[in-house]
Amino acid sequence: MAAQRTGAPPAAAAPALPTLGGKKSSYREKVADALRAALIAGELLPGEVYSAPTLAARFGVSATPVREAMLDLVKEGLVDTVPNKGFRVTEVSEKQLDEYKHIRALIEIPTVVELARTADKVSLEALRPAAREIVQAAVSADLIAYVEADTRFHLGLLALAGNAHLVEVVGDLRKRSRLYGLTALVEAGRLLASAEEHLELLDALIARDEETVREVMTRHLGHVRGLWAARGDR
């Protein structure tokens, strides 16, 4: 996204995330979803100040929905307001990111393993288009689209457990995460392998292979603080 710092690479806005449960997202929510994805992917950097007009220019929308969406992110603690300048992305410590990943592993791994026993195959197969979108985003190096499709896939998968509060908790943890290493993975040609894990997971779930589901989920979540988290300057 365009920013008040020079050298920030431009990127087109990706399709916004649909809201779980059949509810249609408002335009403001769609903008907020795309902004969150850019933040998680590391395209909005901690400590940097971004103005609504420059973000709007990058998204090809007016400044008003961007400003409103950023205020939503302020309430979530993802950005702070900077009077007369815009919004500053909040810093997240390595310890916080480790804690988020630990909580996600405690929730997501056993939940998804249980889905190998309980989820119907039609519902699981319905997630395949999102899994393919993740792969396509990796191929095209579209990090915002990658994060959006990845979120849609994982929250959609967890929703099959029938616990809306669980989905809400994991969704909040995902919003607070930072995947600074995605750009480096693209440059190294390694993001595609991570993307294809979503298809591997689906195949294991449909085959009712609990052992493989556990292995893939453990490996996949490990990337959150492994491959995907590595900063380019490390």
43, 182 contact by CB (below 8 A): no
- pLDDT (tens, 9 = 90+) of the chain, 234 residues, equals 433 333 333 343 333 333 333 344 578 888 888 888 888 887 888 889 999 999 998 878 889 999 999 999 999 888 999 998 999 999 888 898 889 999 999 999 999 999 999 999 999 999 999 999 999 999 998 888 898 899 999 999 999 999 999 999 999 998 888 776 677 777 777 788 889 999 999 999 999 999 999 999 999 988 776 655 554 443
Task: Please state, in angstroms and as integers, the Cα–Cα distance from residue 100 to each residue in 97, 178, 181, following that order.
Answer: 5, 10, 17
Q: By three-state DSSP, how is residue 34 classified?
A: helix
Q: Looking at residue 67, what is its pLDDT? A: 92
Length of the chain: 234
CATH code for the part of the protein at 94-227: 1.20.120.530
178, 93 contact by CB (below 8 A): no
pTM (global) more than 0.85? no
Q: Looking at residue 127, what is its pLDDT? A: 97
CATH code for the part of the protein at 24-89: 1.10.10.10
Q: Looking at residue 229, what is its pLDDT? A: 55
Q: Looking at residue 136, what is its pLDDT? A: 96
What one-character DSSP code corresponds to residue 65?
H
**Ranges of each domain in the chain:** 24-89, 94-227
